[in-house]
């Protein structure tokens, strides 16, 4: 597949993707917030993905500014709101996976820099964030996805969201081990085991209010969660290749639309790298970094029936997803195994 713009991105070296980090730094506000949408808004998860992209490329000062933004805007219950305009919350719900993801970003920065003082300084924020998510954990192990602006919990359990939370708790356990916080390690381990058990045995638990099986994330995020999926891996990978993968283009966001999305393609690349399918993982990564503008900045996606970049937005987190996928595939930094291996010691 030849896209209108040719890509010269080299994912095999940090220098080859450094311009993506520079792009993210240009978007960052003085407050540390990293907008991801055309209107200048962002959600906490996308913000943290961009922070990790910056840290991967050594933009440590900017990454710290992004993490400090999280500290400054954390709610008293440990959460963050669903959408911000700089420092102003504009959607007042609180998603569990948005809040807990700070554990992944903090652990990733530690992997890159091995600074225990840094880890100590964010431990309180990470703990509170994870406890917010765990306050929504059901007896079946799954975690409700959202608390609305009136404080009502939406007891819908999203497989993709819970897979992300599982990785967050895993990273919180790793932090607790480094900081020798055995009490919290044990508490987080128990919650993690319950959540992982639910992901490994999802029938009758997840996405009961709305069928989300048309979304590609529902098929590859469980792979990234750290769960032992056994024979289910064959089902997941077959579904991805048969329903979502378009040869020479990438991964569709949803199965019933002719729309390749760069972030999903990059993340799916990491999932296949984790499974040991290096050739397919690198093929997907190459697809992801081919959907770019004339300056090699990734668009959100490609509508392949109309042959247009759509939408024309170039989100910060999309660039970050490409950075993290390049690192995972080519082992560029100390953080390259973040999404490939379990982070805590057994």
Using one digit for the tens of pLDDT, what is the confidence trace for 180-198? 999 999 999 999 999 999 9
Q: Is the pLDDT of residue 225 over 90?
A: yes
Rounded to an integer, the average pLDDT of 115-135 is 98
Q: The domain spanning residue 121 has which CATH number? A: 1.50.10.10
DSSP secondary structure, 177-189, as one string: HHTT-HHHHHHHH
* C-beta atoms surrounding 271 within 10 Å: 26
- Model confidence pLDDT, tens digit, residues 4-19: 999 999 999 999 999 9
| Domain-embedded: residue 107 | yes
Q: How far apart are CA 52 and CA 56, in angstroms?
A: 6
Smallest CA-to-CA distance from 311 within 301, 320, 321 is with 301
Q: Is the pLDDT of residue 1 over 80?
A: no
| Domain-embedded: residue 3 | no
| Domain-embedded: residue 43 | yes
| Domain-embedded: residue 162 | yes
Q: How far apart are CA 269 and CA 278, in angstroms?
A: 9
- What confidence category does residue 309 fall into, taking pLDDT thresholds of 50, 70 and 90? very high
Find out whether 223 and 280 touch, Cβ atoms under 8 Å. Answer: no
In 3-state terms, what secondary structure has residue 55?
A: helix
Q: How many domains does the chain have?
A: 1
Q: Is the pTM of this model over 0.75?
A: yes
Q: How far apart are CA 189 and CA 194, in angstroms?
A: 9
* C-beta atoms surrounding 178 within 10 Å: 16
Q: How far apart are CA 319 and CA 213, in angstroms?
A: 26
| Average predicted confidence (pLDDT) for the chain | 97
| Domain-embedded: residue 5 | no
| Domain-embedded: residue 29 | yes
| Domain-embedded: residue 119 | yes
| Domain-embedded: residue 6 | no
Rounded to an integer, the average pLDDT of 75-80 is 98
Q: Is the pLDDT of residue 233 over 80?
A: yes
Q: How far apart are CA 338 and CA 327, in angstroms?
A: 10
What percentage of the chain carries pLDDT values higher than 70?
100
Q: How far apart are CA 273 and CA 330, in angstroms?
A: 10
Which element (helix H / strand E) includes 91? strand 88-91
- What confidence category does residue 97 fall into, taking pLDDT thresholds of 50, 70 and 90? very high
Which element (helix H / strand E) includes 97? helix 96-100
- What confidence category does residue 38 fall into, taking pLDDT thresholds of 50, 70 and 90? confident
Between 39 and 268, the higher pLDDT residue: 268
DSSP secondary structure, 273-326, as one string: HHTT-HHHHHHHHHHHTTSB-TTSPBPSEEETTTTEESS----HHHHHHHHHHH
Range of the domain at 50: 14-330
């Amino acid at each position: 597949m030849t896209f209108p713009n040719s890509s010269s991105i080299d994912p095999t070296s940090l220098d080859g993707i450094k311009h993506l980090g520079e792009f993210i730094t240009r978007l960052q506000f003085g407050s540390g917030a990293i907008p991801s949408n055309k209107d200048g808004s962002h959600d906490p998860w996308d913000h943290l993905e961009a922070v990790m992209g910056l840290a991967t490329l050594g933009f440590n000062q900017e990454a710290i500014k992004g993490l400090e933004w999280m500290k400054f805007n954390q709610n008293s219950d440990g959460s963050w709101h669903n959408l911000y305009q700089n420092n102003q919350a504009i959607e007042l719900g609180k998603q569990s996976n948005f809040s807990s993801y700070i554990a992944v970003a903090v652990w990733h920065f530690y992997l890159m820099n091995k600074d225990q003082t840094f880890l100590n300084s964010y431990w309180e924020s990470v703990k509170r964030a994870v406890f917010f998510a765990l306050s929504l954990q059901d007896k079946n192990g799954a975690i409700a996805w959202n608390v609305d602006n009136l404080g009502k919990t939406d007891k819908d359990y999203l497989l993709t969201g819970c897979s992300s939370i599982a990785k967050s708790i895993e990273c919180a356990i790793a932090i607790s081990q480094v900081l020798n916080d055995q009490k919290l390690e044990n508490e987080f381990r128990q919650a993690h085991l319950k959540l992982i058990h639910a992901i490994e045995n999802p029938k009758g638990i997840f996405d009961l209010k709305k069928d989300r099986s048309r979304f590609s994330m529902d098929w590859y995020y469980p792979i990234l969660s750290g769960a032992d999926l056994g024979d289910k891996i064959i089902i997941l990978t077959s579904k991805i290749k048969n329903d979502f993968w378009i040869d020479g283009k990438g991964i569709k966001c949803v199965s019933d639309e002719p729309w390749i999305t760069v972030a999903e393609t990059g993340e799916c690349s990491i999932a296949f790298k984790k499974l040991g399918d290096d050739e397919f993982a690198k093929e997907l990564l190459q697809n992801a970094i081919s959907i770019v503008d004339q300056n090699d900045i990734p668009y959100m996606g490609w509508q392949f029936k109309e042959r247009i970049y759509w939408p024309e937005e170039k989100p910060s987190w999309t660039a970050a997803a490409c950075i993290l996928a390049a690192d995972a595939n080519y082992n560029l930094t100390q953080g390259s195994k973040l999404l490939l291996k379990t982070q805590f010691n057994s």
